[in-house]
Amino acid sequence: MRLLIDSPQGLSGEVLASELGITRAAIWKTVRSLEEDGAQIESLRGQGYRLKTLPYNQLALSCLLPVPVCFYDDIDSTNSQARRLAGQGMKPPFVVAARTQSGGRGRRGRTFVSADGGIYMSLVVPASSYGNVETLTTRCALGVSDALSSLGFDSAIKWVNDIFVNGRKVVGILCEGVVSLEEMRVEEVVLGIGVNYETALFPSQLDGIAGSLYPDGAPLPKSLFLKELVDSVLRALNEDGYISRYRERCFILGRRINVISSSGTRAATALDVDDNAHLLVRYDDGSEEALSSGEVSIRQAP
């Protein structure tokens, strides 16, 4: 699969056999096996074999991603599975991806609709590799925004980590820590990302809120976009001075918002994002606060 991905013009059976050290008959059997696993491979006279359609499965992602990956056709939640794998000793960084989720989760216990057509993944990274774990959520959001930019979309970020295109939410991010009970510290961070990639329909309660990047079908296979997504997030996690780019894409700055917390909802104006990724707000009574967590809404903000 890796050889075919790297050679879009095709490779002869002879070249493949030489590269892999197997017979041409074995190459033919391998091609049939790849086709049974979802790949569409053309046999071209004079050119050999060419990968026509890249599948979205374990084999393709294992060839493409820079870190180990575990792919599932359906799972309760990629974040939940990532936490289970980390608890079983799988070392970060690694990715968990799924075609669908039966129990996708959003912030504050909300359900994240996870039908076929979306991209659902969790990237697990070691907390010890990053000085300020607080910034990982905003770094992840910036990386996702960069990946959308590579597709030509003008994306914007609603603090702290919702990604919007054309006024609709197209990406949700849920970051969770894996805590060592022995040492009482966060050992790994799970960066869960759900993208409405080719999602055609949404529940009625999401009308006017959720959007899809390609509701009529995407020009780029999911596997290739997932690679771009992982690459972009990893770059953002290690980018010096990332916060200035985050501020540029945070579209709520200067706008009226509602700050939602356990004590209620307060109207405010979003002023800035500080270097620790806290949102600076001014309430209507003139008091100011630096929000390190919580939720803000732009709907019906007076």
Residue 180 contacts by C-beta under 8 Å, 6 or more apart in sequence?
186, 187
SS3 readout for 6-34 = HCCCCECHHHHHHHHCCCHHHHHHHHHHH
Q: Extract the tokens encoding 167.
A: 């006024």
Contact criterion met (CB below 8 Å) for 185 and 177: no
Per-residue model confidence (pLDDT) at position 177: 87
The full set of domain ranges for the chain reads 2-53, 58-249, 256-297
Q: Rounded CA gap, 32 and 34, in Å?
A: 5
Q: What is the fold, at CATH topology level, of the domain defined by 256-297?
A: SH3 type barrels. (2.30.30)
Q: Rounded CA gap, 4 and 50, in Å?
A: 6
| Predicted confidence band of residue 40 (pLDDT cuts 50, 70, 90) | confident
pTM of the prediction?
Answer: 0.86
* Neighbouring C-alpha atoms within 13 Å toward the C-beta of 15: 11
DSSP string over 247-261: HHHBTTTTSEEEEEE
Q: What are phi and psi of 167, to 5 degrees?
A: 80, 5
Identify the residue whose tokens are 């050992």.
Answer: 187
Per-residue model confidence (pLDDT) at position 78: 95
Name the strand (E) or helix (H) holding 80: helix 78-87
Q: What are phi and psi of 72, to 5 degrees?
A: -135, 145
Q: What is the CATH number of domain 2-53?
A: 1.10.10.10
Contact criterion met (CB below 8 Å) for 11 and 49: yes
Per-residue model confidence (pLDDT) at position 274: 95
CB atoms within 10 A of CB 22: 13
Average pLDDT, the chain: 86
Identify the residue whose tokens are 């945070």.
Answer: 250
Structure confidence by residue, pLDDT tens digits, 70-109 = 999 999 999 999 999 998 999 999 999 999 988 766 555 5
Report CA torsion sign: 260, 263, 265, 271.
negative
| Predicted confidence band of residue 291 (pLDDT cuts 50, 70, 90) | very high
Q: What is the CATH number of domain 58-249?
A: 3.30.930.10
Identify the residue whose tokens are 């510290």.
Answer: 185
Q: Which residue has the higher pLDDT, 200 or 252?
A: 252
Instruction: State which amino acid sits at residue 165.
Output: V
Q: Rounded CA gap, 31 and 50, in Å?
A: 10
Contact criterion met (CB below 8 Å) for 294 and 260: yes
Structure confidence by residue, pLDDT tens digits, 150-205 = 999 999 999 999 999 999 999 999 999 877 656 667 889 999 999 999 987 776 67
115 forms beta bridges with none
Q: Extract the tokens encoding 240.
A: 């010096």
Q: Rounded CA gap, 5 and 18, in Å?
A: 17
> E strands within the chain?
40-44, 48-53, 69-75, 94-101, 119-126, 155-158, 162-165, 168-180, 185-195, 256-261, 264-273, 279-283, 288-291, 295-297
Q: If 0-12 CB within 10 Å is exposed, 13-18 middle and 19+ buried, where does residue 152 land?
A: exposed
